[in-house]
Every structure is written in structure tokens, then in C-alpha cells.
Amino acid sequence: MALAVSLGFPTAIGRAQDAVACKGYSYSGLQGGRAISGVRATIRVMQTPNVHEGHVAGWIGIGGSDLGPGGVAEWLQTGYAAWPPDTLQVYYELTLPGQATTYHMLKQQATVGEVHTVALIETNRKGSWRVWLDGRPASPAYYLKGSHATYKPQGIGENWTTSTTCNTYDWLFSDIRVELRRGWRWTTGRKPGYKWQDAGYKIKLIPPDSFETKSILGEPTGALRPPRPPR
């Protein structure tokens, strides 16, 4: 996020809320196992985020901190972001190689119970992507070098803070669909991928095409990480 830091991937570890060091980034979410040309999800705000310091977010995305050309940062993501004292927005964020991360607001203030369908779809130009919000284009087309037939979809609940206090959130991702090649039909992503579940947060799978990612207070939780995190 182009406020103080960018929305990114993972750091924090711990066992239970009273012992969790949430300083830095914490995550709970999924990454698909196949490269795609489109991803969409309906995201509901299940609980008003409580952000003591830093930010939280719930987003779908592609790319990562070392997945761009030559191992540089390149990503595009869209969803909800919240920070103190009571700001909750619909946004998208873009990082291009060699450029600063930019944050783009799509809706100034969202509320608990709000639902939006967000999507990232490759255009007819290979490697160019556009953000969609509720079935309509919401951004220009951005060229992400090396992204065609390469990037895998991510759905993530995120916390970032410089303190040890874990911020809270609860996002419901439903009706998740992917487009494996441009112009193909939308389908559920069934090939296994990676799962994040950092201490203080958890993910609940809801078959056939949904999951909930949320903070948990006072419950032990392990940290499940892929060998190559996308941020």
C-alpha cells in the first residue's frame, strides 16, 4: 500500500494471541496451483476491522516481491484495505519493475456487511491486466512484464503493524473463479496451491468455492508457508 508501506508478504510467527509478535506482515489465505489469465472473487466484510496501528487488507492478486523480470517486485491486487481510525476502502495496488508502489482508491468508505466482486483479467494484449469492480472496468490496462501464463492467483487476508498488537479483520471470499487462458470459460481453481496461516489468524475453507480468513484472539495457530512466498 502506497501509504507508509506496500501491502506485501510474510513475516510474523507465534503461538497464541497473548504471545504473538504481529510486528511486520501476517497472512492467512490461499494461492492457486496454476497460472491464470483471470481471477475473480466476491469479498464480504464480515466484521468491521479494528486497526490499532498499520493496516489490514483482504485482496485477490497476482505477482509478488520477487516474481517480476529478473526477480524484481511486480504485482497487482484489489480488494479492501483499512487503517486507523476508521477508514475502510475498496482499492487496487500496482507495483511495476523499478517503480514505486501506487495505491488507487475505488471506493472511499465501505462498511461491515458490504459485498463487492473484484477481478483481475488479462486483456487481449498478453501480459496486460485490468482491474474490474462489480462487473465493470475499474482501472487502465497495465503491462506486467513476464506475467502471461506465469502468475498464479492469490486470495489473502493481511495484517501489517510496527507494534506487537494484532489488528483484526474478517473477510469472506466466495464464488472464486479463474480463467486459465484468455477467452476460456470461468471455472473453479481445483489444482492445489499454497496456504498461509500465520499466528493470530486463520483460514476456514468453505466448499466448493469459498473461504473465510479472519483474526482469532487467544487461539493457538501454526504458520503454514510456501517455499517461495509471492511477496
pLDDT of residue 165: 78
On whether residue 22 sits in a domain, the answer given is yes
Q: In this predicted model, what pLDDT tens digit does every residue of 75-123 receive, in sequence order?
A: 999 999 999 999 999 999 999 999 999 999 999 999 999 999 999 999 9
Q: In this predicted model, what pLDDT tens digit does every residue of 2-21 receive, in sequence order?
A: 322 333 333 222 223 334 56
CA distance 33 to 192: 5
Nearest 5°: phi and psi at 71? 80, 20
Does the pLDDT at position 227 exceed 80? Answer: no
Which of 41, 76, 58 is CA-nearest to residue 209?
Answer: 41
pLDDT of residue 1: 42
pLDDT of residue 164: 79
Residue type, 109: Q
pLDDT of residue 21: 62
On whether residue 225 sits in a domain, the answer given is no
Residue type, 50: N
On whether residue 42 sits in a domain, the answer given is yes
Name which of 9-18, 24-33, 186-195, 199-208 the model is least confident about: 9-18
Longest C-alpha distance within the chain, in Å?
50
On whether residue 196 sits in a domain, the answer given is yes
Cell readout for 186 is 470461468
More confident residue, 198 or 106: 106
Which of 225, 167, 227, 203 is CA-nearest to residue 10?
Answer: 225
71: CB partners within 8 A, 6+ apart:
none
CATH code for position 153: 2.60.120.200
On whether residue 4 sits in a domain, the answer given is no
Name which of 18-27, 45-54, 57-66, 211-220 the model is least confident about: 18-27
Rounded to 5°, the CA angle 53-59-131 comes to 125
Do the strands 38-50 and 168-179 form a parallel or antiparallel pair, or are they unpaired? Answer: antiparallel
On whether residue 10 sits in a domain, the answer given is no
Which of 132, 149, 130, 128 is CA-nearest to residue 42?
Answer: 132
Q: Is the pTM of this model over 0.75?
A: yes
* Number of structural domains in the chain: 1
On whether residue 200 sits in a domain, the answer given is yes
Does the pLDDT at position 134 exceed 90? Answer: yes
On whether residue 1 sits in a domain, the answer given is no
Which of 177, 195, 194 is CA-nearest to residue 186?
Answer: 177
pLDDT of residue 217: 65
Q: In this predicted model, what pLDDT tens digit does every residue of 154-164 receive, in sequence order?
A: 999 999 998 87
CA distance 70 to 203: 32
Reported as type and span, the H/E element at residue 213 is strand 210-215
Q: Which residues of 163-199 are buried (b: 16+ CB within 10 A; e: fewer)?
A: eebbbbbbbbbeebbbbbebeeeeeebeeeebbbbbb
What residue numbers bound the domain in which 193 lies? 17-215
Split at pLDDT 50, 70, 90, the class of 166 is confident
